[in-house]
Amino acid sequence: MTMIPGFLLRYRNKLLLGVLVIMVLTGVWWKFHRSGGAPPQNVYVPPEEMDRVIYAVRQAQAWRVTTAGSIHGQPFETTQEVSCPYDSHTFTRTRKEDGQYELAEEFIETRDAYFAREGGEDWHVTQRPGENKCLAGPMAGATPLLQVLERLKISSKLYPDVQRNNPFGNHPSGNNPSETCENWYIVPNGAQIPNGVLCIQKSTHLPEVFRLQQLVVRYAGWNLPVVVPPPIPVPNAPPGS
């Protein structure tokens, strides 16, 4: 009977230390397991810049987008002005040999009608329901910008241009892009050389210039009201024609 208390007394300090360690480890494991290994919910984790851009573009209600390119060696420029949900004005100009641009085609969409013409010809109208432009958002060439950004979010990373270089030359507004927006390089995962640039407004996180390989798109007029010019009515055809 006297051996048991003596045994416990001899190892009492070690037993207490062991129990304390087990309690601490159990508490740490329980807290980590409960949070799923994620940071505590009250800790703010800032979103990446690509997420900010995608969110800002999704909220936009109006914009002006201009895409430049060439077809069979002839330079062209397509501009689309949109005021959600239905109104839009799209026109394409081609550059002549003397360097001047001329209207090639023009389209106007409203809630219930679609107007089209080539050059300076008469308008042709089709009565049809308009498409909600806010569902797809602004274009980037032939593809909605949001689709392009979602793909880039998976395949690439954005890195800020700390040296504030200007890969675009003069800005459309006549100002240096560093004064109105910041350049972010698009670098594919596993690569070190960028294949594109986003010039992003500092305050709104909306893009002003998007360049990906050979595609160059410029954005302006974000959330500013767009007045779609009413087309000149198509003359009525004479009887019997």
CATH of segment(s) 52-220? 2.50.20
Between CA 185 and CA 183 the distance in angstroms is: 7
The rounded percent of the chain whose pLDDT value lies above 70 is 70
Residues 6+ apart with CB under 8 A from 190: none
pLDDT at residue number 157: 92
Answer positive or negative: Cα dihedral of 49, 200, 180, 194.
Answer: positive
Q: What is the pLDDT of residue 229?
A: 76
Is residue 235 reached through a cis peptide bond, with omega within 30 degrees of 0 on the bond before it?
A: no
The CA dihedral of 141, 143, 146, 150, to the nearest 10 degrees, is -110
> What pLDDT score does 172 carry?
42
Average pLDDT, the chain: 79
Question: Hey, how many other C-beta atoms are within 10 angstroms of the C-beta on 50?
Answer: 21
In the sheet that holds 74-83, the strands lie side by side as 124-127, 113-118, 101-109, 87-95, 74-83, 62-71, 215-220, 207-212, 196-201, 181-188, 156-160
Spans of the chain below 70 pLDDT: 1-46, 163-179, 233-241
d(CA 168, CA 161): 13
Give residue 70's pLDDT.
79
